[in-house]
Amino acid sequence: MQHIRDGIMVVNTETIAGKVITQNLGVVGGSTVRAKNVGRDITQALRNIMGGELVKYTELLEESRSEAIGRMVADAAARGANAIVNVRFATSAVTSGAAELFAYGTAVKVE
């Protein structure tokens, strides 16, 4: 399942219900900067004139976000954690061509 990657539970609540946090391993994070490609840019610019959902950009951001989460999980795994709690996301548009997606949370050991 998607929510357990490499045996690490990822949640955005402060505690994991039914489990006890035994050790705090610090803040972990992962980020990606994604640029769109030219072909996509042109088709999406045409869509943009008409308004509505920009499907390709939705897909792009979804992909990059799961990559950011993957990096965060790898960071947590390197510290020997088995869960990440209180996960937050931040997005910033660096220029008009690229977006930075950032995921961060607290790596913990739970039992």
Partner 1 sequence: MDYRSNRVRTLTIALLSVLAFSVVVSAQGVVEEPQKEDPPLVLFVVGCCVLPWILFALAWVVFGAAYPFMFLFGALFSGRNLERRVNAVVLREQASIEHFGKDPLSTLKGSHIVGGVNNSGLVYSSIVYAPSHWMLLIVWFNNLIGGRINILQKVIAAARSEAKQLLRERAMEEGWDEVLNVRIDTAEMTPASAKNGPRAVEIFAYGTGVKYG
- Site of interaction with partner 1 (CB under 8 A): 1-4, 9-14, 16-18, 38, 42, 44-54, 57-58, 61-62, 65, 69, 87-97, 99
Q: Which is nearer to partner 1, 24 or 58 (CB)?
A: 58
26 or 97: CB nearest partner 1? 97
Using only the alpha carbons of the chain, give its radius of gyration. Answer: 17
Between 77 and 87, name the residue whose CB sits nearer to partner 1: 87
Question: Whole-number minimum distance, CB 74 to partner 1, in Å?
Answer: 15
Q: Which residues contact 28 (CB under 8 A, 6 or more apart)?
A: 72, 75, 76, 79, 81, 84, 104, 105, 106, 107
Give the separation between CA 69 and CA 90, rounded to whole angstroms. 12
CB of 48 to partner 1, least distance (A): 5
Which C-beta is closer to partner 1: that of 3 or that of 111? 3
The CB-of-68 to partner 1 minimum distance in angstroms stands at 11
Q: Is 37 exposed, middle or buried (0-12, 13-18, 19+ CB in 10 A)?
A: exposed
Query: Cα–chain-centroid distance for residue 52?
Result: 25
